[in-house]
Chains A and B, each alone.
Chain A
Amino acid sequence: MGDAMAAITLENITKRFGGIEVIKGIDLEIADHQLTVFVGPSGCGKSTLLRLIAGLEEVSSGTIRIGGERVDHLPPARRGIAMVFQSYALYPHMSVYDNMAFGLRLAHHDKRSIRARVERAAEMLQIAPLLARKPRELSGGQRQRVAIGRAIVREPRVFLFDEPLSNLDAALRVKMRLELAKLQRELSGTMVYVTHDQTEAMTLGHTIVVLNAGRVEQVGDPMALYRRPCNLFVAGFIGSPQMNFLPGRVAAVSPREVTVALPSGGRVCIRGVIGPVAPGDPLTLGIRPEHIVLQPENPLLSGTITEVERLGAESNFYVEVAGTLVTVRGLGDHPLSVGDGAQLGFDGEECHLFDARGTALDIAPG
């Protein structure tokens, strides 16, 4: 399984529905033997992109290659893909066995090899005792496994998942997430996974593709996206709670560092900024909630706590600073409460800078 080279190459893909362009020229390399996640807000085109790869939609222009072979003119069944749908789309009138065997039968595999493949997949997914049942007799999690099983028996070059966990309850979702990760390691296949949930993207993906309004915003491994978001959109989308954005202005530039003045009067020095900045330029400074320190020795900002969310191990504090709401992550039992004044501080090392167009300024690693 997955030994054939199965990298996916998208070249200048566009897709129009009627007069509306939903995919606006995407170039992308999806690596072999990896789990790549398409993530983005609803309507960003991530599902359409997946369906274009599957062949359920056809590209308006551009080419799609799987393992070097051009497939954009081929019907889904001849692209060497298998797909797991959001609603599972199990054939309701067929048993689990028949659901899994359907594609193989259509491809005229002989009975014995069909049985062998279905049983191997059922074993792997621990659904062997369910093979005689009908989909309506299964729980949500079991249906999910059958849907995955149906994909596995086809031994595809590429597995496509369209928000496969969104119909499950929260606890089951976490469990299935872990199983999917394990399954990917076992199968070592190329997988493309669509989700709107950034947590799912971060936990599952080897590579994450962030999409917005029909374009790719950034591609990278989870930690790269977290540490070096290339623009405001990615910075805001990856990470939970969201990154805080503070308006600022360049106060001073020296070869080694840039000093940013915040509206509250505080100044932050950031080292290693590469990029054309001049004193007086407007900037957006991004700082993640987990990088802000409450009541530090050298406070940069001060404000009033308007809301506290106690999550147990940690707490989220919402602090109003000069008209902007800043989220701060603190310890679970931190004594501050609503109405208290709070002093905030953070290290220049942890800051992100974005220019007036929202593009991140490159910062050389420490």
Chain B
Amino acid sequence: MGWRVRKWIGALGFYLLIALLLLYAVFPFYWAVVSSLQSGSALFTVEFIPRDPAWQNYVTVFQEQPFGRNILNSFAVSLATVAISLTLAVTAAYAFGRVEFRGRRPLLLSVLAVSMFPQVAVLSGMFELISALGLYNNLFGLTLSYLIMTLPFTVWVLTTFMRELPRELEEAAMVDGATPWQILTRIFLPLMGPALVSTGLLAFIVAWNEFLFALTFTLTSEMRTVPVAIALISGASAYELPWGNIMAASVTVTVPLVLLVLVFQRKIVAGLTAGAIKG
């Protein structure tokens, strides 16, 4: 019965591995939740299940800085970024995905090349641009700067989806007298719903998580987005960070994102992997 024992040990090892991976994936978030529920001295003793959970940290994080405003800022900027990116990308994707024209491939590759730009490489130029447009310390300025990160991949992913729509559908519409604009808006757009959701979600997450531009192009705490606000939470002195507040803020902004991910798991995965595996 040697092989049976070995099989059993193998299965045990396998599940142990899974358990370890799960722990590594989930524990930091769990620990943030636990810490956020502890205030005062309880925070500084390690308890894996809080004996005396308290909401105090969640209250103070909204009192000590305009955290509610920061969340609204993040929402506004992220939604605007998604809306503008999708609008610009979907028309471009029609051109790239459906029409054979001179210069298409070099253009598509330059769009992709932008996605490898390091953010600092455009920082000074972007700062100058945003100041010149009078958009410093302004949410519009942030939205504009975020397009450099969201446009390349939205164009790229939507082009992939656009390419997969059947050709005869477009031809039927041409016979019916539809212009390219009508083909896009009345035939393709309604069929691209899932693709738009996938790419829109990814763009939303990118914008919601962005830090460097938000840190550099905003000045006042009222204009900050959530990542900057959390990074800049400070205590009475530089050496006493209010960890309870920081964890409460972290959990507050992460929970909606985690829910989003759980609900739209499949769509996100589809967007992330679209086309990548065909290369």
Contacts and interface: CB of A to CB of B under 8 A. Distances in A.
A76 interface: yes
B172 A77 contact: no
Contact of B174 (A77, A93, A107, A150): A77
B155 to A, nearest CB: 23
A93 B172 contact: no
A200 B242 CA distance: 82
B174 A56 contact: yes
A86 B178 contact: no
Given A92-B191, A93-B190, A93-B191, A82 B169 contact: no
Describe A's contact surface by its main secondary structure.
Answer: loop
B193 to A, nearest CB: 9
Contact of B187 (A78, A91, A154): A91
A226 interface: no
B102 to A, nearest CB: 15
Nearest to B170: A89
Contacts of B186: 102
B168 A106 contact: no
A86 B168 contact: yes
Contacts of B174: 55-56, 75-77
A230 interface: no
A85 B187 contact: no
B166 interface: yes
Interface in A99-119: 102-103, 106-107
B174 to A, nearest CB: 5
B1 interface: no
A91 B175 CA distance: 13
Contacts of B216: none
B128 interface: no
Contact of A54 (B166, B175, B177, B190): B175
B166 A82 contact: no
Could you tell me the dominant secondary structure of chain B's interface residues?
helix
B240 interface: no
Contact of A77 (B177, B187, B191): B177
B175 to A, nearest CB: 5
B177 A83 contact: no
A242 interface: no
B172 A106 contact: no
A81 interface: yes
Contacts of B182: 106
A76 B179 CA distance: 11
B171 A89 contact: yes
Interface string B173-203: 1111110001000110011000000000000
A142 interface: no
Interface residues of A, number: 24
Contact of A106 (B166, B169, B176, B191): B176
B183 to A, nearest CB: 10
Contacts of A218: none
Contacts of B173: 91, 102
Contacts of B187: 91
Nearest to A154: B176
Given A91-B187, A92-B191, A106-B182, A85 B176 contact: no
A117 to B, nearest CB: 14
Contacts of A103: 175-177
A178 to B, nearest CB: 25
A102 B176 contact: yes
A85 B177 contact: no
A346 B71 CA distance: 93
Nearest to A91: B187
A76 B191 CA distance: 23
Which of B166, B169, B176 has its CB near the most chain A CB atoms (within 10 A)? B176
A87 interface: yes
Nearest to A81: B175
Given A93-B191, A106-B182, A76 B168 contact: no
Nearest to B174: A76
B93 to A, nearest CB: 18
Contact of A82 (B168, B175, B178, B190): B175
Interface of A: 54-56, 75-78, 81-83, 85-87, 89-93, 102-103, 106-107, 150, 154
24 contacts: A54-B175, A55-B174, A76-B174, A77-B174, A77-B176, A78-B177, A81-B175, A83-B171, A85-B168, A87-B166, A89-B166, A89-B168, A89-B172, A90-B172, A91-B172, A91-B173, A92-B191, A93-B190, A102-B176, A102-B186, A103-B177, A106-B177, A106-B178, A154-B176
A-B pairs with lowest CB-CB distance, top 5: A77-B177, A103-B176, A89-B168, A89-B172, A93-B190
Given A76-B174, A91-B172, 13 more contacts: A56-B171, A56-B175, A75-B174, A77-B176, A77-B177, A77-B178, A78-B177, A83-B171, A83-B175, A86-B168, A90-B172, A91-B169, A150-B176
